[in-house]
């Protein structure tokens, strides 16, 4: 942006200086009307050529700045995509680890419940047998 303003300022300064300098040189030169008109025509042509040249330079610089901006924006987009991909990979890894830990906890709980269930069943059976034995003793 600053380079663009600088280029515009330089171009404007050149054009203004050229016009003022040419006008002063022509007005203060001791020449006849015909020679003065011819000089004005020549200076006009030189001025137009110089202006076209500087305009072309300005266009080239503007194109270079635009291309540089595009290149930098593409680099930023590429870097952002890489970082986003990395974050997604990290999140997937964390999710996978959490699933594995949850499955391990569930399997451990199943094992404990199965063991407790067997103990409760055995205790219940023992209680029934003890009751039946007491009942048969008392009968």
> How high is the pLDDT of residue 29?
67
pLDDT tier for residue 139 given thresholds of 50, 70 and 90: low
pTM: 0.43
Alpha carbon 99 to its chain's center? 32
Give me the number of domains the chain comprises: 1
Look at phi and psi of residue 31 and say left if phi exceeds 0, alpha if psi is from -120 to 50, else beta.
Answer: beta
CA dist 30 and 20 (Å) reads 18
Per-residue model confidence as pLDDT tens digits over 83-132: 999 999 999 999 999 999 989 988 888 777 777 777 878 887 888 888 88
Per-residue model confidence as pLDDT tens digits over 40-70: 788 788 888 888 888 888 889 889 999 999 9
Determine the structural domain holding residue 27 and report its residue range: 2-138
> How high is the pLDDT of residue 26?
65
Q: What is the DSSP letter of 32?
A: -
């Amino acid at each position: 942006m600053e380079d663009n303003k600088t280029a515009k300022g330089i171009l404007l300064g050149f054009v203004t200086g050229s016009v003022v300098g040419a006008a002063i040189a022509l007005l203060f030169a001791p020449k006849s009307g015909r020679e003065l008109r011819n000089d004005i025509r020549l200076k006009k042509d030189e001025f137009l050529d110089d202006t076209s040249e500087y305009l072309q330079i300005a266009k080239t610089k503007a194109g270079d700045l635009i291309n540089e901006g595009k290149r930098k924006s593409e680099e930023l987009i590429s870097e952002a995509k890489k970082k986003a991909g990395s974050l997604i990979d990290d999140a997937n890894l964390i999710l996978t680890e959490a699933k594995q830990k949850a499955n391990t906890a569930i399997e451990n709980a199943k094992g404990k419940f199965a063991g407790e269930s067997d103990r409760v069943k055995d205790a219940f059976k023992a209680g029934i047998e003890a009751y039946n034995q007491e009942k048969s003793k008392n009968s």
